[in-house]
Structure 1
Amino acid sequence: MAVGIQHLRTFLMAVEEGSISKAAARLHMAQSAVSRRLAELERQVKHPLLERSAEGVQPTVAGKTFCAKADAAVTAFDDAMRSDLQRVRALRVGHAWSAVGVHTSEILRRWQETHPDVEVRLRRVDDPAGGLTSGLSDVAIMRTHVRGRNLNEELLVMEPRVVAVATDNPLTAVSEVRLADLADHALVINSFSGTTSLRLWQDGRRPVVAVEVDTLDDWQTYIAAGVGIGVTPASTAWMHPHSEITYLPLRDAPPVPVYLVWASNNRHPALRSFVRLARNVVAEDAR
């Protein structure tokens, strides 16, 4: 069977969902049909594109490279097939955790008011690069500094950190929490896309790591269950409140930088306008 655009759509959906069964549900296909289509694609390109495990699927090294090309091909095809050839495709804004925190709603609202003809599609991706390197986003909101000749970076804001604890944790009774206060507590770390490691404790004792996780959902689940505590940017408390978790200000922890990052060869016509608007909104909110 010849490989076509539907094979690329199926592959991109599997990457986005991280699961063949979820991709099948989104595509209204049988799971076996999705698996068969992916196998046909891999035979055609002569490389394994997806790594399969009990937890789902994720792109291989070759799959990440192919993902960017497949996304560009599908985007170009969709643009060519639009009945309104003047309409610009959606600008995809990826983030791994909490977008731009408290500024997110205002940025989206302001964009809709000033650029009603261009949709901004916010996408959470369990990836520290917010889907940028895999081709799933045009611009990524990142909380780690990146270096690369082909990347542009805009610092938006320095964000304070908070500590996340179960609602019955004794720390909720402390008036002011500092890093030293956490040394006797076990720590839950998102080692894939989080911003916290034991290096945060440069002096004195460090907490032990109770468990390392890969997703925000698992991070919150372990904290709510009292397995450990977590340290995170303040935007997590705003974007992801949890009925069994209390977020407390962490007074002496260094802030987390929030960047907008995009590939220098990205030619989306709305990209620079979005960067400029986001910068202006954050600056206005800081006044």
Structure 2
Amino acid sequence: MAVGVHHLRTFLMAVEEGSISKAAARLHMAQSAVSRRLAELERQVKQPLLERSAEGVQPTVAGKTFCAKADAAVTAFDDALRSDLQKVRALRVGHAWSAAGMYTSEILRRWQETNPEVQVRLRRVDDPAGGLTSGLSDVAIMRTHARRRNLHEELLVMEPRVVAVAVNNPLTALSGIRLSDLVSHPLVVNSFSGTTTLGLWQDGRQPVVAVDVDTIDDWQTYIAASVGIGVTPASTAWMHPHSEIAYLPILDAPPVPVYLVWASNNQHPALRSFIRLARDVVAEAGD
């Protein structure tokens, strides 16, 4: 059977949802039909594009590369058929954790006021590259260096760190917290897309890692259960408040850089305008 754009749409939906059953629901198809279509696509490209597990699906290394090409192909196809050739598709802004923190709402509000014809779509992707390498985002808000030749990055703001603890943790009684106060408390970390490593503690004394998680939801669950504490950018407290977690400032922790990152070959017509607007919102907040 010939592979067409519908195969690409199905693949992209499976990647976006992380689940064949959820993709089937979004596409109004039977799950078996989605699985069959994905198998046809993989036979055509002669390699697996998705890793399947009990938790769902995620792109393989080859699948991440294919995802970017498939997204570009589907976008070009839709643009060619669109009756209103002046309409621009949504600008996809990926982030792995907390978007732009306290600036997020103002950026979105001002964008809607000044560019109502182009939607900005936030996409939380548990990926240190914010969905750029998998083709899920046009621009990403990242808290680590991109370290890829084809990606451009611009520093947006430096963000302080806080410690996240269960509300009954003794640390909540301290008037000021330093990194040295945390060494006796086990850590909950996300080594895949988080910003905290044991390298923060440079005096020879380091905490132990209690558990390494994959998502912000699991990170908060373990902290609320007093399995460990977490060190995180201050934006986490703003974006992810939790009734069983207290976020406390750390006096001597180095700040976290927040970058806007985009692919050098991205041609979305609203990309540069979004970058300028985000830069202006952060600058005005600091005045």
Q: What range is the shorter-chain TM-score in?
A: over 0.9
- How many corresponding residue pairs? 287
Q: Once the two structures are superposed, what CA deviation does each residue of 1:75-96 show, in whole Å capped at 9, x if it has no partner?
A: 1112122221111111111000
Equivalents in 1 of 2:163, 2:82: separation in Å?
Answer: 47
Partner amino acid for 1:65?
T
Structure 2 stretches lacking a partner, 5+ long: none
CA distance in 2, matches of 1:251, 1:178: 5
For 1:232, what is the secondary structure of its paired residue?
strand
Per-residue displacement from partner, 1:87-138 (whole Å, max 9, x unpaired)?
Answer: 1111111000101000000011111111111111111101011000111001
CA distance in 1, matches of 2:214, 2:172: 26
Q: Is residue 2:233 matched to residue 1:233? A: yes
Counterpart of 1:136 in structure 2 is 136
What are the ranges of 5 or more consecutive residues in structure 1 without an aligned counterpart?
Answer: none
Match of 1:92 in 2: 92
Which amino acid counterpart does residue 187 of structure 1 have in structure 2? L
Taking only the aligned residue pairs, the percentage that are identical comes to: 86
* Matches for 1:244-263 after TM superposition, within 5 Å: 244-263=244-263
TM-score, structure 1 length as denominator? Answer: 0.98
**Match of 2:105?**
105
2:54 is the alignment partner of 1:54: yes
The one-letter amino acid of 1:126's match is D
For 1:67, give the aligned amino acid.
C
Report how far residue 27 of structure 1 moved: 1.9
| Alpha-carbon distance between aligned partners in 2 of 1:179 and 1:21, rounded to the nearest angstrom | 44
Cα-Cα RMSD: 1.0
Tell me, yes or no, if structure 1 residue 76 matches structure 2 residue 62: no
Give the aligned partner of residue 176 of structure 1.
176
- Partner in structure 2 of residue 208 of structure 1: 208
Q: TM-score, normalised by structure 2?
A: 0.98
Q: Is 1:22 matched with 2:29?
A: no
State the SS of the aligned residue for 1:165: strand
SS at structure 1 position matched to 2:40: helix
Would you say the 8 A contact 1:192–1:215 is kept in 2? no
Asked whether the equivalents of residues 102 and 235 of structure 1 are also in contact (C-alpha less than 8 Å), the reply is yes
State the distance in 1 between where 2:251 and 2:231 align: 12
Q: Distance in 1 between matches of 2:177 and 2:25?
A: 45
Deviation at 1:32, TM superposition (A): 1.6
Describe the SS at the equivalent of 1:248.
strand
Separation in 1, partners of 2:220, 2:34 = 32
Using the alignment, how far apart are the partners of 1:13 and 1:46 within structure 2?
Answer: 20
Distance 1:55 1:162 in 2: 31
Q: Distance in 2 between matches of 1:81 and 1:100?
A: 34
**What letter corresponds to residue 77 of structure 2 in structure 1?**
F
Q: Is 1:41 paired with 2:41?
A: yes
Measured in 2, the distance between the counterparts of 1:83 and 1:223 equals 51
Q: What's the offset of the Cα at 1:12?
A: 0.8
1:181-192 to 2 correspondences below 5 Å = 181-192=181-192
> Is the Cα contact below 8 Å between 1:93 and 1:140 reproduced in 2?
yes
Counterpart of 2:127 in structure 1 is: 127
Q: Which runs of 4+ in 1 moved over 6 A?
A: none
Q: Deviations for 1:169-228, whole angstroms, at most 9, x for unmatched residues?
A: 111111111111111101000111100011111113111100001111111111111111
Distance in structure 2 (CA, Å) of the matches to 1:235 and 1:131 = 20
Q: Distance in 2 between matches of 1:261 and 1:275?
A: 9
Secondary structure of the residue aligned to 2:262 is strand
